[in-house]
A = this chain, B = another copy of it.
Amino acid sequence: MTPLDPGTKTQILDVAERLFAEQGFAATSLRALTAAAGVNLAAVNYHFGTKEALLVAVFERRLRPLNERRLAGVDALMREADAAGRAPSLEGLLDTLFRPVLEMAGEPGGDSCAKLFARVHLETEAEALESMFLAQFCAVRDRIMPALLRALPDLPEHELIWRLHFAIGALAHTMQSTIRLQWLARGKAMTTDREATLRRLVGFCAAGMRAPASKEDR
C-alpha cells in the first residue's frame, strides 16, 4: 500500500458514501459496493463487521470534523460577543451552523455525504446510527441554543425551537440535491455558487427567525 493507494478501508468508505447517497442504504448491496470499490466482498465484514457498522463509519468520518468546526465557530462568536459586551449576531450563528455543511459538500465525495446526510436525517435505517447521530449533534444543539437565545432575546424558547427546526429543514432540503431546485426553476439556469447559496440561506432563515411571534403563540 503506497501513500497514493487509499487502502481498502478508505476505498470502501469512499464508495459506500457515494452509493448509499445515490441508491439508499437498503438498496445498495455489498456485492455492488465491493465490486465498485475494487475490493473483495468479504472486506467489508472484515474491516467493519457488518453493513450497518459501515454506514455508521461513513457518517462518523464526515460528521466528527464537521461538528467540531461548528462548535469552534460558535465558541469564537460567543467570545467576540462577550468581549464586546453585546449579543452574538444571528447571521453569524446561522453561518457557523450552515457553512461546514456546505463546505463539506464541496470536498471530493462530500457532496455524496451531504445527500446521504439529508436522507438519513429522516430515515431510521439503523438503530446504532440513530444513537451515533444524536450523540454527535447533542453538543452542537446544547452550544448553539443558548447563543441563539441571546441573539434573539425577545423570542420565547419554544418559538426558537420551532424556527430552528424550520431552518434545519431548509438546510437539509438544500443539501439533498440541486435537482429539485432546477425543476422549480423550470430549466432557468440557477447559480449554485457556495457563498451565494450560503448568503441566501442565512438571509432567509435569519429573517424567518426574527419574525415577530404571532400573538396566539406568545
Task: State the A residues within 8 Å of B (CB).
Answer: 24, 26-27, 115, 118-119, 121-123, 125, 134, 141-142, 157-159, 161-174, 176-177, 180-181, 183-186, 188, 190-191, 196-197, 199-201, 203-211, 213-214, 216-217
Contact = CB atoms under 8 A, between A and B. Distances in A.
A216 B199 contact: yes
A113 to B, nearest CB: 14
In the complex this chain forms, how many copies of it are found? Answer: 2
Secondary structure dominating the interface of A: helix
A27 B169 contact: no
Nearest to A28: B26
Contacts of A208: 170, 203-205, 207-208
Given A122-B122, A158-B188, A173-B173, 13 more contacts: A24-B24, A122-B180, A141-B183, A142-B186, A159-B200, A162-B197, A162-B200, A168-B173, A169-B173, A200-B214, A200-B217, A203-B214, A207-B208
Contact of A161 (B27, B171, B184, B199): B184
